[in-house]
A and B are shown apart, each in its own frame.
Chain A
Amino acid sequence: MNMHRGKQFFAISAIVMGLTACVSAGDPPEQLLSEAKLDVKVAKEAGAAEHAPLALRSAESKLQEAESAINQKEYKAAVLLLEKSLANSALAVAQAQAAKSEAAAKEVDASINTLNQVLREE
């Protein structure tokens, strides 16, 4: 009788240990969630819809998945999804800012070339 219970206990704790990676445990990741929401907003404001649509869409969908994971109390899974969302938002912002800066640099370059042309014609 005792042996049987011991085996079960061992089996359950083994499973529990194995599950620590992906089993829901602890508190809902509130801070991470609000960060992820904010970063999606920031990405949109930086012009990600135009300049980084793929990264923005990934950020948004991972956020949505994280929200439903939280609803199902699968907090560990939610954390990973939120980390993915944040990384996508960061890329989206960087892409949008790079696109804008490069466009501005190109314009400035063109204006200097024009200036040089005009000066040489004098």
Chain B
Amino acid sequence: MNKILKWTSASVLILVMSGCATNRDPSDELSSLESQYNQLAAQGFVAEYAPVALKEAEETIAKAKKLEEKREDKSLISHQQYLAKLKLDTALEIAKQKRAEAAIGNAEVRRKDALLSAKEREANALRNRAETAEYNVTQLEATAREMSAKADALAKTLEDFSAKQSERGLVLTMGNILFELNKSDLKPGAERTLEKVAAFLAEYANRSVLVEGFTDGLGSADYNQTLSEKRAEAVVAELKRLGISSSRLSAKGYGEDYPVASNSTDAGRQQNRRVELIIANQDQTAVAPRQR
């Protein structure tokens, strides 16, 4: 009987040691587990994404704690602790997985957002360009009106001078005031007129200017052509002398072409004998040629 008892207790001891041994003091391990649990619980995403797994870990820790308080067998306590450690790690992994899945789900939204933002940027850019263009047009119109008004004011102070806005630019028409009949050199009085014109041109310094000469229908076409060219060039020369940059100026003659009145009356012929000075519009680099 004694032998059997001894054998049983010996094998029990071996069993206890092989199946349930642990390296660490159970109460140290328990604190470590509790602190690990607290750390996980503190990180919002674990509670958010793995609440069940976290609870399970908590319950296992509580079980281990209870066993310790009841001074149960160390092997039982350390078994619970072993499980608790694994369950804490598992809770963290599950939370990481769910969080990653949420991010993937979110990706579709982010993709749409990115495309939407790009469309918005595009729309804004277009709107800005349109607004700028609109503003620019308004500016152009305002400047054109201002120039026209100034030209009108100028016209009031001069004889034989009119101003009119056209597609090709602002047209200043000057008549007999500049030249004697059949002459291409400027009359003495012309200087005063052209001084005022030069002053006006100086205010719009970046505009191209085309001087066009015209004659009435009397005389040969060739003669009239030459005369009109010489007159246009005379005006250009005078404007240069008055300080207008030559790069802005050009001269052209049209002879008896483009009459503005009938050549069969004196009054009509007088009207046709003219010089037109065209100031290019703000958005044009040069005055557009006449369509023959």
Question: Is B12 a contact partner of A19 (Cβ separation < 8 A)?
Answer: yes
B42, CB-defined interface residue at 8 Å: no
B103, CB-defined interface residue at 8 Å: yes
Question: Is A98 a contact partner of B15 (Cβ separation < 8 A)?
Answer: no
B149, CB-defined interface residue at 8 Å: no
Residues of A within 8 A of B122 (CB): 122
Q: A15-B12, A119-B115 are in contact. List 17 more A-B contacts (CB 8 A).
A: A8-B5, A18-B12, A19-B12, A21-B76, A22-B12, A23-B15, A80-B79, A84-B79, A101-B100, A104-B104, A105-B104, A108-B104, A109-B103, A109-B107, A119-B114, A119-B118, A122-B122
Interface residues of A (CB under 8 A from B): 8, 11-12, 15, 18-19, 21-23, 55, 69, 74, 77, 80-81, 83-84, 87-88, 90-91, 94-95, 97-98, 101-102, 104-105, 108-109, 111-112, 115-116, 119-120, 122
Residues of A within 8 A of B202 (CB): none
Residues of B within 8 A of A23 (CB): 12, 15
Q: What per-residue 1/0 map shows which CB atoms of B81-117 lie under 8 Å from chain A?
A: 0110011011001101100110110010011001101
Question: Is B93 a contact partner of A98 (Cβ separation < 8 A)?
Answer: yes
Question: Is B20 a contact partner of A22 (Cβ separation < 8 A)?
Answer: yes
Question: Can you list 19 contacts pairing A with B, beta carbon distance less than 8 Å?
Answer: A8-B1, A21-B75, A22-B12, A22-B15, A22-B16, A22-B20, A23-B15, A77-B15, A84-B79, A84-B82, A94-B53, A97-B93, A98-B93, A104-B100, A105-B103, A109-B107, A111-B107, A112-B110, A115-B114
Min CB distance A6 to B, Å, is 13
Question: Is B86 a contact partner of A87 (Cβ separation < 8 A)?
Answer: yes
Closest to A51 in B: B93
Cα distance A40–B86 in the bound complex, in angstroms: 15
Question: Is B103 a contact partner of A108 (Cβ separation < 8 A)?
Answer: yes
B188, CB-defined interface residue at 8 Å: no
Question: Is A116 a contact partner of B96 (Cβ separation < 8 A)?
Answer: no
Min CB distance A111 to B, Å, is 8
B9, CB-defined interface residue at 8 Å: yes
Residues of A within 8 A of B118 (CB): 119-120, 122
Question: Is A112 a contact partner of B111 (Cβ separation < 8 A)?
Answer: yes
Min CB distance B120 to A, Å, is 11
Cα distance A109–B232 in the bound complex, in angstroms: 73
Question: Is B86 a contact partner of A91 (Cβ separation < 8 A)?
Answer: yes
Interface pairs A-B: 3 shortest CB-CB:
A94-B93, A101-B100, A119-B118
Which residues of B from 184 to 203 have beta carbons under 8 Å from A?
none
Residues of B within 8 A of A112 (CB): 107, 110-111, 114
Which residues of B from 120 to 142 have beta carbons under 8 Å from A?
122
Residues of B within 8 A of A88 (CB): 86
Which residues of B from 55 to 97 have beta carbons under 8 Å from A?
73, 75-76, 79, 82-83, 86-87, 89-90, 93-94, 96-97
Residues of B within 8 A of A101 (CB): 96-97, 100-101, 104
Question: Is A11 a contact partner of B75 (Cβ separation < 8 A)?
Answer: no
Cα distance A111–B73 in the bound complex, in angstroms: 55
Question: Is A98 a contact partner of B103 (Cβ separation < 8 A)?
Answer: no
B284, CB-defined interface residue at 8 Å: no
Which residues of B from 1 to 28 have beta carbons under 8 Å from A?
1, 5, 8-9, 12, 15-16, 18-20
Max chain B CB contacts within 10 Å: which of A11, A15, A18, A98?
A98
Min CB distance B255 to A, Å, is 56
Cα distance A119–B117 in the bound complex, in angstroms: 9
Min CB distance B194 to A, Å, is 55
Cα distance A22–B79 in the bound complex, in angstroms: 12
Question: Is A91 a contact partner of B75 (Cβ separation < 8 A)?
Answer: no
Closest to B13 in A: A22
Residues of A within 8 A of B16 (CB): 21-22
The one of A15, A105, A120 that contacts B100, using a Cβ cutoff of 8 Å: A105
Contacts A91-B86, A108-B104 known; A21 to B73 CB distance under 8 Å? yes
